Structures are given as C-alpha cells and as structure tokens.
Amino acid sequence: MKNFSQPMMLSLGITVALLASCGTHNNKPIESSTPTEKAMVFESGYSDVNGLKMYYEIHGEGDPLVLIHGGGSTIQTTFGNIIPDLAKNNMLIAVELQAHGHTSDRDAPETFEQDADDVATLLQNLGIDKASFFGFSNGGNTTMQIGIRHPEMVNKLIIASAFFKREGMFPGFFDGMEHASLDNMPADLKEAFWAINPDSTKLLAMFNHDKNRMLGFQDWDEALLQSIQAPSLIINGDQDVVQNTHAALIASLITNARLMILPGNHGSYMGQVEGSYTRSKTTELTLAVIDEFLNGE
C-alpha cells in the first residue's frame, strides 16, 4: 500500500519600465542570496491587486513567462533551482499568491479562480498584454483557470502536476487532507516562509487557506478544459500525487496539448524538492523540453 502522508503534505505545501506602473517597487536590483542564484540579479516589487499587496520578481529578458508556485510555497521553494535556466531565454515574472511569501492576505477564501484573476490583474498593472504561464501543483490549477478565464492574455501554458477532478488524485488523498495540520507541513516550506515573514499567525493563515481550498474543491466540468485553445504542455511525475491517467485526460481535453510523463515524484523532475537538491538528468530533460516548447520553431 502506498504511503500517502508525505505526498499529501508536499502537495499542500507546494499544493525595467514595467515596474513604474506598480503601486510599490524596489528601485535597485536585488542579488539573490540563495545557493542556486548567487549570480542572479533581478527586480522585485509589490502591486495593488484586488485588495492585495502582491509580490513579484522579474528575471531575465525575452518573451514573458509567468511562474506560479505551488500551495504553501514561495517563488524560491518551487522554482529557485531552475529560475537561472528559464531566465536565459525568457523574461520571468514570478509571483507569490494570496497570503504566500511576501504577498499580503485579505478577508476572503483563496480559490484557483481568484488566484487566476489576481495574476491577470498584476500583468495588467505591469503593462503586459500577453504571456506564457508555468504553474506547478496548485499553481498548475491556477494556470488552467487563467487559460479558461483570461484566454486573451495567454500565449502558451505549462501545467505541471495539477488536477481538475478530485478523482485525479491518488485514492485517499482528500481523506488524508482532512487531518492535515501545520505540524506536518514540510519543514523546508515553513522555514522558507519564516525567512520572509516570521509571523507564525500568518503562516497558519496561509496553511488554512490552502487546506480549505483543497477540501472545498469541486470538480471542474470537462467543457472548461476543452475551451482552452492555447498550446499547452502537461507534465507529471510517474510517482506523482496526480495520477498519470488524469494528466493524460487533461492533455486529451485541451485541444492543442502535449503530454510528458517523467520519472519522479511531485515536482522532483523540475527541482522542486524538499531537503538537499542534486541536479539530475531528468531536470535537464524537463528544462530542454520546456525551452523547446516555449522558444522552438
């Protein structure tokens, strides 16, 4: 029998002139102190978005690619190990969603639909009319909703380890989610949040938003996915919390979609792992396919 406790908590935990148009921004570039980005310099700022002070970072140059993290995560815990690679050929706009990382909270539940609208509003504030989007885990659900709710803003979609029906997760996932608590949230994710925001009440608020979003999730109609017309790349790990048959269903419903199943668990194929990280050939392959999908002929 599979042990679902760790994947459940991983999914919950993980589940320029442009700056002038934002409400608040940093005037100076920031040099990251994380090991994976020692040489990376980027712009960061906050924008007034639907009642939030929404944090974002801009890395690199080229066509815009929006990065949307997983539940319980930050920009760095989801994408930190691959941002330098993605920024070689793209201008990355990495965001932090409601109550996550640097971004403020509001007195309203977090939903994938609202997250999608928040990201769309941020891009409008930044003067970006159209972009590609790369969402992992719960961020992949948000990415699908962007394709559904804001198709005019979408160039291409990368949807990684995401679901649209409850049955798409491994059996027992949602039963286990009922008992999820902050105590068994992955330590790396808690420490990453505290490094940004040491207020434990805000960590708990983020955790509860993510847990309630999952427990309250209602299946999406297949017609919603069929409405997505943008070229899409669906990615899943062969030992993921999302079943491979479900990832294949997503790819079959989106008209112009391709599917890639990679060896690995929830996000290990893209360097999204808790604890120590060692660059793998699988990560290199993932990045090569993503680059070809985004920038190839």
We report the CATH number of the domain holding residue 17 as: 3.40.50.1820
Read off the pLDDT of residues 240-292 as tens digits, 9 standing for 90 and up: 999 999 999 999 999 999 999 999 999 999 998 665 677 899 999 999 999 99
- What's the confidence (pLDDT) of residue 154? 98
Domain that holds residue 126: 5-295
Q: How far apart are CA 76 and CA 74, in angstroms?
A: 5
Range of weakest confidence among 3-7, 230-234, 238-242: 3-7
- What's the confidence (pLDDT) of residue 19? 27
Structurally, the chain folds into a number of domains equal to 1
Structure tokens at 286: 């993932």
Average of pLDDT values for 125-140? 98
27 has pLDDT over 50: no
Average of pLDDT values for 210-216? 96
Average of pLDDT values for 184-199? 93
% of the chain surpassing 90 pLDDT: 82
Helices (H) and strands (E) in the chain, counts: 11, 10
Q: Pick from 171, 177, 155: which is nearest to 71 by CA?
A: 177
Mean pLDDT estimate for the chain? 88
Structure tokens at 160: 């990684």
Bridge partner list, 159: 135, 234
pTM of the entire predicted model: 0.89
Confidence of residue 7 (pLDDT cuts 50, 70, 90): very low
Confidence of residue 15 (pLDDT cuts 50, 70, 90): very low
**Which of residues 272 and 4 earns the better pLDDT score?**
272
Q: Pick from 69, 71, 60: which is nearest to 37 by CA?
A: 60
The CA–CA distances, whole Å, from 154 to 158, 164, 181, 229, 231 equal: 11, 19, 36, 9, 9
**Which of residues 3 and 239 earns the better pLDDT score?**
239
- What's the confidence (pLDDT) of residue 31? 42
% of the chain surpassing 70 pLDDT: 85
41 has pLDDT over 90: no
Contact 25, 53 (CB under 8 A): no
Q: Pick from 86, 83, 109: which is nearest to 98 by CA?
A: 109
Contact 89, 287 (CB under 8 A): no
Contacts of 257 (CB under 8 A, 6+ apart): 228, 231, 232, 233, 234, 250, 251
